[in-house]
């Protein structure tokens, strides 16, 4: 095989074509041979062939076929291909005027194959985007040739792989691609009268276009709304009028082609999450899309993984969708998938199994976020041992998903006190607080939040292991998500805690750090830091003194004044409840608030606030400032 590499390097013209064709034939179906050639610098050789102006076009085509074959192994190979800089040279091919249609098609096929299994979304160069517009626009004419349909389907596949990056989503939409994709869906939704060959190619095109639309509308409210409102009368203001595009997608969600069903369901899920689907259509999603996604869990690994991710996204933060899924017995099905994957492990399926486990756990986390009934279904399905095992999984993505499951399940006091304790979740979760992977650490901090509350039987075990010190370190981290979850956990640690625990937290964190967190660039971190103060001073009067003596009365008042004038309701609420607890102290504590006209004026102003919690907090401030018991030193505690 070394001789073959040498032949490719040293030969030219037809001899090089023959050597490349020989290599292509040798590696097809042989992953070990592919690994050998990658280890022996075949990628650098192929890049040289693609970039050299002296290379025959047939040599370039054979080189691209080899790249496509290598990429078909999956992520372990595509990561090497991307890191070698191959994508740039493939994109350059169809931006060169002299490239033939065969070379362009081969390049598009290679890009679609590589990008579909790449771990990180790549960006499409701007010149390529405008070339893609031309290819896709041709298909808006129903008289396009099979090769044009095929090229367009490859372009749509590339967009699907790259279109989830926010910057790329905007760039692609601004180029006109989003409008063209919508038009293609409308044109080819009905393929019943087409001849077999045309039906084959338009089905592939429609499939790829739906997945591209799903990518471009994912987490992008404006794009999702644009798709949902397509072909709707511009003069209609009636929400009960028909939304043609939603009706088309609901129809395609029942298409005979499995992948088309999946793409249409993905688009509908994105629209639902963005609020672009009128309420009258939500029942269709419950009765059509949810059951379809659940049935797709019986399909191949790739379809199963995609269906799981769409299902998890669709049910997130939605009682009605969670209910529809759980009523359809989805948790039992998820349990069966986990049991099957964990009992049929094989080295060659490692990456695929990891993705399935991750997707199942994400779905479970989303389904069990709100209701104890669904959490109990998870317990009864014997899924908890799989979650505990996944906390120690080799894949960081699986560990993150397991942490999210833990967080959802631990919201149930009953499950927290029994099933999670019995499953031995404390030790593996604690280890993840110092995981090398940032996303894992962040997810672990979020999971620990519920485990350190005063009613948690795991609180003392986690604290004894040194969780406090770790959380205080994470609260100072540069990463805002990790910082947020760490401060959130500290808020729960000091909630209803003994004074000694509160002092330990404040001293370990640092009083100056706490005040800095109150002015953090992230509003959510500010809110949690203010709630740390709120929970520290709640309860014993000496807790108020600890904070005032170490931070200083003037600094605390300055923080309160600033936060009461915030434009964020959650910050105003947190500041008001700090006032509530200071006012629940002794006369000296009450006077601190009473003597501050600016604070009192803010309280009076916010008493008519639109938010219930803000109004309620203002009333408690006034009650605590004016209501003393017989000793005149004890104020009612809110």
**Confidence at residue 299, expressed as pLDDT on a 0 to 100 scale:** 93
Domains and CATH numbers, the chain: 1-120 (1.25.10.10), 123-230+243-266 (1.25.10), 552-638 (1.25.10.10)
**Confidence at residue 5, expressed as pLDDT on a 0 to 100 scale:** 86
Q: Give the residue among 377, 354, 356 at the shortest CA–CA distance from 311.
A: 356
**Confidence at residue 119, expressed as pLDDT on a 0 to 100 scale:** 72
Task: Give the residue-averaged pLDDT of 208-225.
Answer: 97
- Contact at 8 Å (CB) between 603 and 579? yes
Whether the pLDDT of residue 629 is over 60: the answer is no
How far, CA to CA in Å, does 379 sit from each of 341, 374, 392, 422, 426? 19, 9, 20, 12, 17
> What's the mean per-residue pLDDT of the chain?
92
pLDDT (tens digit per residue) in 96-130: 878 899 999 999 999 999 999 877 778 899 999 99
Task: Give the residue-averaged pLDDT of 246-251.
Answer: 96
| Percent of the chain's residues with pLDDT above 90 | 79
SS (H, E, C) 310-330: HHHHHHCCCHHHHHHHHHCCH
How is residue 494 written in tokens?
A: 């000091």
Whether the pLDDT of residue 239 is over 80: the answer is no
Whether the pLDDT of residue 237 is over 70: the answer is no
Give CA–CA dist 530/484, Å, rounded.
12
**Confidence at residue 182, expressed as pLDDT on a 0 to 100 scale:** 97
**Confidence at residue 635, expressed as pLDDT on a 0 to 100 scale:** 40
**Confidence at residue 636, expressed as pLDDT on a 0 to 100 scale:** 41
Q: Is residue 59 within a helix (H) or strand (E), and if so which, with residue range?
A: helix 57-71
| Percent of the chain's residues with pLDDT above 70 | 96
Give CA–CA dist 581/531, Å, rounded.
11
Between 281 and 232, residue with greater pLDDT: 281
pLDDT (tens digit per residue) in 349-396: 667 789 999 999 999 999 999 999 999 999 999 999 999 999 999 999
**Confidence at residue 634, expressed as pLDDT on a 0 to 100 scale:** 44
The pTM is what?
A: 0.89
Give the rounded distance of the alpha carbon of 616 from its chain centre: 35
**Confidence at residue 122, expressed as pLDDT on a 0 to 100 scale:** 84
Whether the pLDDT of residue 334 is over 60: the answer is yes
DSSP 286: I
How is residue 529 written in tokens?
A: 């830091």
- DSSP-derived secondary structure for 466-504: THHHHHHHHTT-S-HHHHHHHHHHHHHHHTT--HHHHHH
Give the rounded distance of the alpha carbon of 292 from its chain centre: 22
Q: Give the residue among 98, 93, 153, 87 at the shortest CA–CA distance from 124.
A: 87
**Confidence at residue 630, expressed as pLDDT on a 0 to 100 scale:** 47
Whether the pLDDT of residue 45 is over 70: the answer is yes
Q: Give the residue among 623, 616, 526, 548 at the shortest CA–CA distance from 583.
A: 623
Whether the pLDDT of residue 56 is over 70: the answer is yes
Give CA–CA dist 627/180, Å, rounded.
67
pLDDT (tens digit per residue) in 164-207: 888 899 999 999 999 999 999 999 999 888 889 999 999 999 99
SS3 state of residue 560? helix
Decide: residue 14, CB within 10 A, 0-12 exposed, 13-18 middle, 19+ buried. Answer: exposed
Model confidence at 539, in pLDDT bands (50, 70, 90)? confident
Task: Give the residue-averaged pLDDT of 401-412.
Answer: 96
- Contact at 8 Å (CB) between 356 and 305? yes
Task: Give the residue-averaged pLDDT of 492-510.
Answer: 95
SS (H, E, C) 105-161: HHHHHHHHHHHHCCCCCCCCCHHHHHHHHHHHHHCCCCCCCHHHHHHHHHHHHHHHH
SS3 state of residue 200? helix
Angle 436-161-205 (CA atoms, 0-180°, nearest 5)?
A: 160
Angle 355-359-365 (CA atoms, 0-180°, nearest 5)?
A: 145
How is residue 318 written in tokens?
A: 């939605």
């Amino acid at each position: 095989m070394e001789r073959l590499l040498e032949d490719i390097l040293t030969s030219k013209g037809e001899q090089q074509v023959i050597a490349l064709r020989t290599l292509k034939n040798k590696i097809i179906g042989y992953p070990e041979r592919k690994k050998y050639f990658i280890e022996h610098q075949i990628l650098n050789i192929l890049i040289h062939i693609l970039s050299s102006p002296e290379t025959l076009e047939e040599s370039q085509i054979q080189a691209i076929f080899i790249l496509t074959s290598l990429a078909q192994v999956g992520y372990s190979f595509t990561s090497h291909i991307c890191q070698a800089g191959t994508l740039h040279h493939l994109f350059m091919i169809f931006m060169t005027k002299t490239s033939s249609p065969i070379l362009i098609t081969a390049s598009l096929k290679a890009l679609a194959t590589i990008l579909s299994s790449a771990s990180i979304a790549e960006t499409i160069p701007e010149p390529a985007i405008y070339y893609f517009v031309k290819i896709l626009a041709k298909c808006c004419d129903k008289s396009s040739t099979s090769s044009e349909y095929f090229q367009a389907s490859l372009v749509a596949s590339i967009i699907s792989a790259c279109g989830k990056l926010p910057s790329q989503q905007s760039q692609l939409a601004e180029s006109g691609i989003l409008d063209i994709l919508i038009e293609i869906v409308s044109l080819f939704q009905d393929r019943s009268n087409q001849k077999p060959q045309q039906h084959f190619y338009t089905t592939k095109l429609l499939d790829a276009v739906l997945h591209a639309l799903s990518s471009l509308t994912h987490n992008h409210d404006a794009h999702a709304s644009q798709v949902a409102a397509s072909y709707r009368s511009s003069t209609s203001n009636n929400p009960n009028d028909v939304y043609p595009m939603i009706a088309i997608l609901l129809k395609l969600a029942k298409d005979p082609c499995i992948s088309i069903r999946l793409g249409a369901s993905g688009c509908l899920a994105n629209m639902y999450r963005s609020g672009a689907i009128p309420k009258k259509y939500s029942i269709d999603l419950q009765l059509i899309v949810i059951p379809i996604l659940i049935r797709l869990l019986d399909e191949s690994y790739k379809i199963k993984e995609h269906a799981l991710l769409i299902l998890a996204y669709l049910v997130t933060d939605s009682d009605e969708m969670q209910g529809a899924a759980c009523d359809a017995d989805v948790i039992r099905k998820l349990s069966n998938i986990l049991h099957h994957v964990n009992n049929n492990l094989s080295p060659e399926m490692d990456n695929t199994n990891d993705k399935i486990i991750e997707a199942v756990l994400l779905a479970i986390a989303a389904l069990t976020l709100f209701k104890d009934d669904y959490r109990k279904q998870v317990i009864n399905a014997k899924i908890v041992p799989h979650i505990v095992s996944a906390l120690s999984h080799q894949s960081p993505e699986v560990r993150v998903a397991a942490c999210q499951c833990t967080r959802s399940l631990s919201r149930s006091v009953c499950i927290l006190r029994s099933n999670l304790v019995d499953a031995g979740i404390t030790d593996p979760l604690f280890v993840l607080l110092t995981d090398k992977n940032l996303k894992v650490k962040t997810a672990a901090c979020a999971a620990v939040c519920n485990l350190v509350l005063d009613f948690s039987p795991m609180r003392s075990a986690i604290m004894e292991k040194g969780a406090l010190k770790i959380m205080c370190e994470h609260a100072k981290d540069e990463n805002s998500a990790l910082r947020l979850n760490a401060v959130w956990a500290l808020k729960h640690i000091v909630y209803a805690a003994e004074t000694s625990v509160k002092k330990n937290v404040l001293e370990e964190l640092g009083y100056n750090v706490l005040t800095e967190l109150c002015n953090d660039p992230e509003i959510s971190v500010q809110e949690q830091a203010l709630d740390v103060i709120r929970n520290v001073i709640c309860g014993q009067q000496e807790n108020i003194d600890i904070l005032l003596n170490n931070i200083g009365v003037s600094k605390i008042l300055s923080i309160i004044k600033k936060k009461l004038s915030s434009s964020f309701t959650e910050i105003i609420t947190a500041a008001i409840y700090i006032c509530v607890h200071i006012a629940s102290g002794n006369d000296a504590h009450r006077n601190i608030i009473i003597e501050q006209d600016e604070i009192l004026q803010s309280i009076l102003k916010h008493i008519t606030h639109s938010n219930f919690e803000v109004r309620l907090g203002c009333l408690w401030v006034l009650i605590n400032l004016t209501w003393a018991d017989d000793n005149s030193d004890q104020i009612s505690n809110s």
